[in-house]
Amino acid sequence: MAKSSLRTVSISCLAIWAAVWLLFFVMRFSPLDIRVIPGIGMIMLGALGVALLAPIVAIGLACAASVRQPRVPLNWITLGCAIAALFGQGLLFLITRWL
């Protein structure tokens, strides 16, 4: 496996995480009601599962990239962003009632 591919996949996990949460926020603050679409419940539950697991996977991949290349600052920045995403998500779940 290429040394930079772990970092790239970790960044991709964080991008997917951000896209799913942006989708949730857009749905929350828009008048569009998607609950009337048949079968959307399972799709949204799957999206929530992806949003919950993406920062954890990103942390694991960024740790592996940092262990393989400890002198590359981008690996450490990616690891920090993944940890910040996980803590931010946890804080969001703790302080909001609309979830």
Task: Going residue by residue through the chain, which has 99 residues, state the pLDDT in tens, using 9 for 90 and above.
Answer: 666 789 999 999 999 999 999 988 888 888 887 878 898 889 989 999 999 999 999 999 999 999 999 999 999 999 999 999 999 999 988 888 765
> Considering the entire predicted model, what is its pTM?
0.85
Interacting residues of 13 by C-beta distance below 8 A, sequence separation 6+:
54, 55, 57, 58, 61, 82
> What is the structure's pLDDT at 98?
62
91: left (phi over 0), alpha (psi -120 to 50) or beta: alpha
First-residue to last-residue Cα distance in the chain: 39
